Each structure stands twice: as C-alpha cells, then as structure tokens.
Amino acid sequence: MIRGVVSILFLAAATSGSDPDGTHRYSEASSVRPIGYDSPTVAVPRDLPFFYDLYTFRTDGGGTTVVAAIAVQVRRLQSERANSQTQYRFDLRFMVADTVSHTVFPSIDSVFVSNPSPLPGQHLLHTYVEIQTPPSNSTLQRVVVTDAARPGVGQLYTTPFPIPDYSGSDLMLSDIAFGLPDAETGWTRGDVTLALLPTSQFPESSFDVFYEIYNLPKGNPYETEIAIEPLDESDSEDRIVRAVFSGEAQSLDDGTLAELRRVQSALPKGRYRLTVTVRDQISGASAARSRLVEVRGWERGTTMVTALPRGRWAKGS
C-alpha cells in the first residue's frame, strides 16, 4: 500500500486533453430504462432525486467488485422525531443484471441517521454498497433509493454498465475512487477506509484519491502521474497540472499495488478531469484511467453513514 500527498502548489492551476479508455461517470444518471429484473417486492418509485457513482476493482478468482457511492440531500427525505432526536431513513437497492445469461447480482440495504436537531436541507447523507459479479459486456446497472418514512416515494436510475475484466497479465488500473480525508467510517479496501462521495457532489476541500495497479511485478521501478485539468473554455496545455511519483513496486504476490494519494488543497467550484497514468520502467508498459469531478462547495456539510442489510435497523442493530 503506497500513501502520498499531492502538494498544495500542485493545484495552483490546471486543463485540456482526451479521456483514456474506460472513463465512467454515472452521477444522477439521465438515462432511465426498465430492465426486467425486479425483485417481486420492488415497486416503481418516484420523486426522490439522488446522486451516485460506480467504481470497479479486481476480485480474487477473476471476478469484479462493483462499489456504488450514493448521496441524498436531506431536503429530499421526510424527517421523523423520536426520543428527542431527528431521524432520517432511506432504503436502497443496487443491482447488476446480465441480459444474456439472465443472472442478477443484488444488494438491498437501509440507511438510518439520528441527530439532536434537524440537518440543513442541502446537507448530504452519503453511503456505499458493494457487490461481486463476473466480468461481462452485456450488463445493466440499477440503483433505487426510496424514502423509508414515505412508502412509494423514491427514484430509479439505470444504464448499461459493462463489467470490466481485470484478469490477464497486462498492466491495468482499477477505477479511480474519491473520498473525504481522515474517514473513520466508510468503504474499506485492505487497510484503506474511504468516505466515498459521488464525483458530481464534491466539496471545496482536500480529498483522497484511491486506485489499484494490476500486474506490476514486485521490485520493478515505476512512475505514477496524476493530472488535473479544469473543463472550461480554455484549451491551453499550460493549465494542465501534473504531479509525478516514482518508486519501486511493493506489489502483492498477485501483482496488485494499491495507492492512496491526498490532494491537500481545495479545488475551486467547477468541473475537472483527473487522470492517473502508471508506467512500468522495466517493460515500458503504461496504463491510464480518468474520472470527472464536479466541485459544488457543500457549505451545508456531509455525513457518511454505513448502509446495513435491510431489516437490521428495525431489529435494533
């Protein structure tokens, strides 16, 4: 596991360039299509916009881990008052369905938040869910969020979502995941804990960047470059900001190397493309992945909440 800090000076400027293959962005997806794989208990919800992103990583045995980062504004939920606390509850269903093999990989979870006083309407409650699935080019993803205090109120987003195959021997990168720093609660991968946020809802603050490098032989010298470019009207290469890290790979036996980098300075409001490029100095092979980030500010704050399998809250867990 490699940890590092991206200097504040690194983010003094940044723009321009094309997306490497494999770029994903699914925050508040605009394409909504029924896919025919509902659980018998799932009704079609409405009227609860939310935000989400999907991240993929390699799983032992040739599978793929898919992580959904989901956020809901407090103003979208019905608050409840109990035991001198203001409570917010929502249920979420995340599913990947293969339209060729007719297999479904679902997760059904609940989120519960209790606070002494009501939270600001624009406060973000964010959580994550994770499933494992085989690689496939014929899969669709679906995320449903419903207000547990108002039956029938919710929203559904679904899009085609090919599951990448991280097997093989070529140098590869996982998706790039982003989280708020110093997380005590959140998605855990090895010895890393990330308070994942959808990339369309980022605050003006420092943040963590996490990714995994696959098939980098242990002991090989390698170089990692992180580039951030604002997506504005400018096309000047001079405004692309890059940070480069060099080292010797401390990969696991399967050739996996996880890296966690912290961007110390806040990005101004706007849209950015962050690209990670890794180069093996022995073989000359390289791999790159990009992700779009939209910084909105969020002065009203965010709260990371762990989702539990549906029914656990009701049993007092």
Cα separation, 96 vs 290, whole angstroms: 23
Confidence at residue 233, expressed as pLDDT on a 0 to 100 scale: 64
Q: What pLDDT shows up at residue 46?
A: 57
Q: What does the pLDDT read at residue 60?
A: 85
In the chain, what are the domain boundaries?
2-309
d(CA 142, CA 27): 12
d(Cα 103, Cα 130) in Å, to the nearest integer?
A: 17
pLDDT at 267: 83
Residues found in the chain: 317
The CATH class given to the 2-309 domain equals mainly beta
> Mind listing the pLDDT tens digit of every residue in the chain (317 residues)?
666 665 433 333 222 233 333 333 333 333 333 333 344 344 444 589 999 999 999 998 889 999 999 999 999 999 999 989 999 999 999 999 999 999 999 999 999 999 999 999 999 999 999 999 999 999 999 999 999 999 889 999 999 999 999 998 999 999 999 998 888 899 999 989 999 988 887 778 888 999 999 999 999 999 999 999 998 765 556 678 889 999 999 988 888 999 999 888 778 888 999 999 999 999 999 999 999 988 887 777 889 999 998 754 443 33
Kindly state the greatest CA–CA separation across the chain.
Answer: 63
Q: Could you give the CA distance from residue 101 to residue 239 in angstroms, rounded to a whole number?
A: 47
Per residue, the 3-state secondary structure of 195-207, as one string, reads EECCCCCEECCCE
Whole-number pLDDT of residue 13: 29
- Rounding to the nearest 10 degrees, give the CA dihedral for residues 152, 119, 26, 67: -90
Nearest to 205 by CA among 160, 123, 265, 129: 265
